[in-house]
Structure formats: C-alpha cells, structure tokens
Structure 1
Amino acid sequence: MMGYLISLNDPIIHVWSGHLVKKAGPAWKHRRNHHSADTELMLLEKGTLYLSVNGEPVTLRPGQPLLIPPDATVEGTQATTEAVSLFWIHFFAAIQPISDADSRISTANRQRVAGNTATALNQYALIPAVYQADDPQGLLLLFHQLLQAVNENPVSERQNDFFTAYLLCQVSNDFMKTLPVQKPESLASTKISEWVRTNISKTLTVRDVANQFELNASYLSRLFKREMGVSLKSYILDMKISYAKYLLASTNLLVAEVGDKAYFGDPKQFMHTFKQRVGISPSEFRASMSRTHLNTETVDPKSQLPAQFGTEAVRRLIGKILSDQQTPQQESGSTSSQ
C-alpha cells in the first residue's frame, strides 16, 4: 500500500470542492485530468468508479477515500450506468509518500491505542492512496459541512483552508482505526463495538449486548467505558445520532422518517434526543447544511481559484509549499495511487 504524509506544520490551501451526482442510466466515466501542484481527495458515496491513476487501475467503491497526489494523471477507464455520488476536494499541501512498512505508522498506532495525545506522526495527516473507511458516514457528513462552509460567503476564505486541514486529520484518524490493534485488553470492547454497529436496532439495550457476550451488564458498562472512553449506552446513542445527521444532510426524507431509519422509537423521542445531543433541532441542522455545490456528469467544473489566491501572502504560501516538496518528488519520481 502506498500512503502519503501531509504536513500539518505547512500551509494547507483549499482550492475548490464539490459533489458530483449522476443518475442511473446514461453511461459516464471520469474525464481525464492531470494534476499539477494540487492534491485531490475523493470520497465515493454511491456507485462504482473505474479509474486509472498514473496508469495504475483503481476500482473505487462506496465508503472508500482516494488520494491523488500532485503531478498525477487520473482518468476513467470504464463507463458506468450506475447512479454515482462522489465528493471531491482539491488543495495545496506539502505531501510526501510513505510505505506501509515505515515503522512510524506502527509506532503511532501503538501510541494511539495507548491513549497518547502525541504520536510519532503528530505533525502529519497519514492518508493511504485508497482504503475502506471505518466510519464512511462520518466522513461524508464532514464533506457536506465543508461544502456548506465554502458556500456561505465567509468573512475570510481561510476558514476553508482550516476546515480542509481538519477534514484531512479526520480521514487520517479514521484510517488509523482500520489498522490492527496491538493492545490485547482492548480487543473485547472493539469486538463489542463492531457487533453493536452491525446489530443496532430501535430496541437494542446494554443488557441485550451483555447477554450476547455472556457478561454482566454492569461489568460490561465499566469495561467499555474504561477502554473506549464513552459509556456503551452513549455509544449506541451516538451511532444513531451520527446516522441521523448523515440522512438529514444527504436525503430529502421527512424528519420523522429520518428518526425511524436512524432507529429511534418515535418522532418525539428522536427530536428531543437530537436537540439534547446536538444543540439544535433536526430541521435546523438540515437547514444549516443546505448550501452545497453540486455538479453532474454533464456539468464537470473546471478550476475556479478562490479570490484569496490573488493576495500576495497566499501566493507566497503556495510558493513555499511547492518549493518544499519539489526535491522529494524529483527524487522519488512519479507516484502511483496504489
């Protein structure tokens, strides 16, 4: 696996981003595009994309982020008639390749599991070329929030840069959760959390989970809280709220229907719990996510550089990024997405 380290100590500049939506029916494939100095991060929500990155085949499936580094060529290799939903963002950053055998990755993972706040990769966002996300709905929600921020006419466009950096950090955190866990005593709660994720329902309780694993409910609650940092009851509720947020941001379902699909017993319970946990009502949350930039298979936008790129300060930042990464790119040559 080829991965990439994105420096968090150097500027990260948002260029443009969007959400491509294609209806089922007409054949479509990704147009050929050569990246110069910009990096692209895609996240597929729906459908299947057949791509080539620097000549290497990539089949992108739902819930998989794909990072395309600078000086790379990406193009569709096979048309699809499926419905497609694809989020994408282009940005400037100081980036360098890293092998999965690099000891810093395993060291950082051990430190993360041990609860260290600073790891061997503390100065970087680690993102592989492609992987299956641990929490794709959470990442999709972040893309929705980024597009909302981009289109709300902020006082300073730098907020888009900071949100981009935050998004990259969250993708990095999500990826780290997919790595093998080295801490034996944490395997129990990891197994439990995965079972809850796949068996969540309107009626699931802590006692139900305890019975499944033949554990005392009180002991299970203490174990889960100690290893995961959150109570099992809160974990179940947070999963429901996270899915509800995703549905509110990405569908036109009625609020009551969202509550039902997110495993809440009745609409009143859903609306009360959502406002209690999120701070605003489901309708207010949906309204806050209303400004997103859509494009389709027939409207595939070209680069539109933000207004801030006209400032001398930002031009100097971009110049610094490019000069910092020029040497390692020349030494390593063209890098593949696989």
Structure 2
Amino acid sequence: MDYLKANISEPLNFVACGNFISEENWSHMKRINDNFEIIIGINGTAYIQQDHEKYEITPGKVLLLFPGRVHKGYSPSRAGTSFYWMHFLCKDEYSVLQEKEARMELAPLQTNPYFSKVKESLSIPTFFSLENPEKVIILFRQLLHITQSGYYSKLAADYLATLIMIELTQQVIDNTFKTSDGGGINNKKFINILEWIRFNLQKDLSVKEIAERFNFNEDYLTRLFKKHLGVSTLKYINDMRVAKAKELLTQSEASIKEIAYFCGFKDEKYFMKLFKEYENLTPTEFRNAYYRTYINNV
C-alpha cells in the first residue's frame, strides 16, 4: 500500500471540500485529478476504484486519491450514502512511500520524540480505518463552516485542512502497533523495549543485554525490530543516538566529546565517523549549518 509523505512545516494548500449525500443510487464519475483528495465515509458504502485497486468506503474508512491516477465508481451506492471530501495540494515536494518504509518512520513516533525529521511531515496510507472518527468529523465541520463564512484569509482553510491531515496521521501512528500481531503481548513488550532504549541511550547498550532484559533471545529480538521498523536492533539504537546528537548539537553548547558520551558513544572518533555516514556532515559542520535555524525557530 502507498503512503503519502508531505512536509507540513508550511500549511497545505486547501482547494475545496464538501459533504456529499446521495439522494438516489449513485456511482462516482471517472476522472483524473491534478490534486489530492481525502474521502471519509459517514454513511452507507461508496465503491471507488483508483487505478486497478478497488475500495469500499464504509463509515470511519478513509481513502486517499492521488493526483494523476484514474479513479471512478465501480459499483452503484445506495441512496443516503454520504462522505466528507477534501481536495488539497502540497506546497513542497511530496514522496510516495511503500508500507514498510512508512511504518519504519511512523512506529518510533509512538514512544520516541527524537525522530524530529518526521514530525514536520504527515504520513497517510491510501486506505485505512479511523479509531476516533468523531474527532475528524468535528474538524471537517469547522472547515465547512470556514469555507462558507467568508473568512478574510484563505490561510484559515489551509491551516485547518493541515490540522485534519495531522489528526489523520496521528490516528495512523496510534494504530501502528495495534494492528500488528493482533495487538498481542509482544506488541506491548516491543513498545516497552523502544521506551527503555530511549531512556538508556547513554549506556553501553548491547543487543544481548536488551534481549536478556526482556526475556528474548537475540535472534528473536532482531526479527521483531525487522518486522516492526524494518531495521536491526543495533541500527535502531544508532538511529536514536544520532537523532539525539542532532538535537544536542543545535540546542546546547556541549562539546562534541560531551555529546558523543551523552549519546552512548564511548569513542568520539567512532561517533564522528557514524554521524558523517548518516548526515554527510561532521558534527561540527552540522552545528554550524543549522545553529541559526534553530535559534530563529521560536
């Protein structure tokens, strides 16, 4: 399944929205949009096909239609079928991720705040279910009110459209682990592992130590990380350490050696080598390049 990943450091461009209610049997017209469209089921079932994939949009289901793709109704919906819809554009370039890539980026956000590179992006799958549709419906009603009330600035609709997409992303994140393994005990345990690693980054962590602490063997622990995040346990630990190092480099006066030690690197030279592999910059170059950006970001 495809995911839309789009930068939201600036709001999305709102195009149009509405609450569709069919008064008789209805089927969506065939067309190709030049923008994105979100459809959220309210009542009945809407049958919409995007390229070769068919979707049944029932209450609480969300469908994302991509620009440049053919979408159409493939079966008639009964009278009374209704859904909210919204068209929007991304101001910056966007990317389309495969499910494995998207889950790798989204899953750490459930418990780990250091993955700041994702926090300024939304990530929405093509088709998913809402855990709390009421929250999104309230936002949609506010958006409809704004667009019909002659607000003095179009930015009001842009920001509210962006907030809707943030809420959708949040619900996707909240459901990331619930949908794996049927929400079993291993999922909860895995979340606890991520949180424990976050609080113990400064220690000299090993895969063996983590596995023993949570009563797993090393191979099984590695398989869990591969399944949920798409990376090895060691790669995840290094990801977290480099992300924390970036935060300290831009928000503190600590020396490179102090930052390396605080992030669990006992060898300063290894830290510098690994950091450059991740960022294509040395820690000092990174600090000099982004320091002013963070100072002015208030």
TM-score, shorter chain, exceeding 0.5: yes
AA aligned opposite 1:34: I
* Alignment coverage as a number of residue pairs: 182
Matches within 5 A, 1:1-338: 1-9=1-9, 12-23=12-23, 26-36=24-34, 38-93=35-90, 94-102=93-101, 105-114=103-112, 116=113, 119-180=116-177, 182-184=187-189
Could you say if the C-alpha distance between residues 128 and 169 of structure 1 is closer, same or farther in structure 2, counting changes exceeding 3 Å?
A: same
Shift of 1:70: 1.2
Structure having greater relative contact order (Cα 8 Å, sep ≥ 6): 1
Deviation string for 1:96-119 (max 9, x for gaps)?
A: 2111111x63354223224x2754
Q: Give the Cα–Cα distance (whole angstroms) in 1 for the partners of residues 98 and 189 of structure 2.
A: 26
AA aligned opposite 2:6: I
Q: Give the 3-state SS of the residue equivalent to 2:127 in structure 1.
A: coil
Does the 8 Å contact 1:108/1:119 carry over to 2? no
AA aligned opposite 1:137: E
Q: Give the Cα–Cα distance (whole angstroms) in 1 for the partners of residues 78 and 188 of structure 2.
A: 45
Does the 8 Å contact 2:50/2:72 carry over to 1? yes
Shift of 1:185: 8.9
Q: Output the aligned Cα RMSD.
A: 2.1
TM-score when normalising by structure 1: 0.50
Deviation string for 1:213-233 (max 9, x for gaps)?
A: xxxxxxxxxxxxxxxxxxxxx
Does the 8 Å contact 2:2/2:125 carry over to 1? yes
User: Could you tell me which residue of structure 2 aligns to residue 190 of structure 1?
Assistant: none
Does the 8 Å contact 1:113/1:183 carry over to 2? no
Could you say if the C-alpha distance between residues 171 and 111 of structure 1 is closer, same or farther in structure 2, counting changes exceeding 3 Å?
A: closer
Shift of 1:140: 1.4
Q: Percent identity?
A: 18
AA aligned opposite 1:20: F
Q: Give the 3-state SS of the residue equivalent to 1:20 in structure 2.
A: strand
Does the 8 Å contact 1:108/1:120 carry over to 2? no
User: Could you tell me which residue of structure 2 aligns to residue 322 of structure 1?
Assistant: none
What runs of 5+ residues in structure 1 fail to find an aligned partner? Answer: 188-338
Shift of 1:2: 1.6
What runs of 5+ residues in structure 2 fail to find an aligned partner? Answer: 179-186, 193-298
